[in-house]
Structure 1
Amino acid sequence: MSINPEHMRMVEALLFAAKEPLDIQSIAARVPEDAELPEILEQIQKTYQHKGFNLTQVAGKWLFMTAPDLSWLLQEEKETSRKLSRAALETLAIVAYHQPITRTEIEEIRGVGLSRGVMDVLFEAGWIRPRGRRRTPGKPVTYGTTEEFLIHFGLDDVRDLPGFDEMKASGLLNTEPTGLFDTFEEDAATPLDVEENED
């Protein structure tokens, strides 16, 4: 079945104008019901694959991003105030690769205590959040990465992290970062509530 050019133009316009990545449901709500969205998105990807920006899927949503080989052009503009300390970078990596994970487990992996400020920086960046409580004595809060983390680092899924499969195969990772917490209870506490409750 051939793609309706007008439907493709509509989807392009939506993606260009969007202030944030769009999921397929958001796009579908604004275009005719008979628009073949999977095919349209695939065609737009092909159309822009050798251009200055590409259509990319991150965190299950779609957005236009600068072509990876041209990112150096925007290096100055991309400077952010999120200059993470080594402790924050290590903590973020541990959470990303081992989620859902408790504060105590993070400290065990790093081999040092975790200051409140390190977690605060990651919460403020929007890259980690409480994910639930482990069903063990004390019901410790567990942490995981967020959709903002995936979008910032251009990932569609946590499994797209560099070397994830290799690390899992070597036994360095013992959890699946799927976001499905079968042995956890979701907790509606805010990050600050979690921090205060942990002390």
Structure 2
Amino acid sequence: MAQALRPIELFDEATHAEALREATRIAEALLFAASEPLDESEIARRLPAGADVQAALQRLREDYAQRGVQLTRAGRKWFFRTAADLSWVLARAQVEQKKLSRAALETLAIVAYHQPVTRAEIEDVRGVAVAKGTLDVLLDTGWVRLRGRRRAPGRPLTYGTTDAFLMHFGLEQIGDLPGLDELKGAGLFDGALPKGFGVPQPSDDAALKEDEEPLEAEAAEALEMEFLDAPEQPDALEEE
């Protein structure tokens, strides 16, 4: 027979439940009022002292799981989004969008799986030079960002993905990218793979690695200088 809770235990449990409900309500209000996704740290800062932000967000996520809008996470940022099966209701017109070139898609994939990565490292993986506009286009989309500088001769810039990349592709975290078995299952590797071939485990940890240095204020200018000597090649929005 289960032992009955003592009055003090019942009081503590009720107090905890009430605190969680209040934290959930505040988190809901913050997310609805926000014009852009909110970082967990910002939500936690606005909750009462000692509130469990993870528990509150999980409760809120469960509350909205079957509704027309759902709570979604991308990295450490949270936001409300129309339920995937209802997106057609809000679609007013079909907008024609240009597709990224194969070179841009390959470059994006390399950045996602190998970040932090330099331009030279991207070229080493692809086996060809990166076109002048390819990285520019990926930076303009907001899917790729400048991270830092590699502690190596020439101090090359390093690149990584952004929360916008996660949101666009419906990922909660970069580790949700498909691994080798999933890629094989999708038929992307039909032939025999080289011995020892593997797909790296992606990580987008915001902290700089030991071999990276912080960017200077003139990083954008440095990026432009980096491409000055690059030969003109097809734009990243054109098929190669």
Instruction: Give the TM-score normalised by structure 2.
Output: 0.69
Distance 1:156 1:191, change over 3 A: farther
Question: What is the match of residue 115 of structure 1?
Answer: 131
TM superposition shift of 1:170 = 4.9
Q: 2:28 aligns with which of 8, 12, 17?
A: 12
Give the total of aligned pairs.
198
Q: Choose 5-14 or 98-107, whichever is displaced more.
A: 5-14
Distance change >3 Å, CA 70–CA 179, structure 1 → 2: same
Question: RMSD across aligned C-alpha pairs, in angstroms?
Answer: 3.0
One of 61, 77, 88 as aligned partner of 2:77: 61
Summarize the alignment of residues 121-160 of structure 1 with structure 2, pairs less than 5 Å apart. Answer: 121-160=137-176
Q: What percent of counterpart residues are identical?
A: 48
Instruction: Write the distance in 2 (CA, Å) between the matches of 1:136 and 1:195.
Output: 19
Unaligned runs of 5+ in 1: none
Q: Which runs of 5+ in 2 are unaligned?
A: 1-15, 184-195, 230-240
Are 1:190 and 2:219 an aligned pair? yes
After alignment, is 55-64 or 131-140 more displaced?
131-140
The reply on whether 1:2 has 2:29 as its aligned counterpart is no
Q: TM-score, normalised by structure 1?
A: 0.81
Give me the whole-angstrom Cα distance separating, in 2, the residues matched to 1:127 and 1:78.
Answer: 23
* Residues 40 and 53 in structure 2, CA contact (< 8 A), matched pair in contact too: yes
Bigger drift between 97-106 and 7-16 goes to: 7-16
Letter aligned with residue 145 of structure 1: T
CA distance in 2, matches of 1:162, 1:174: 9
Structure 1 residues 50 and 78, CA, compared in 2 at 3 Å: closer, same or farther? farther
Q: Give SS of 2:17's match.
A: coil
* Larger displacement relative to structure 2 (82-91 or 112-121): 82-91
Structure of larger gyration radius:
2
Specify the SS of the correspondent of 2:152: coil
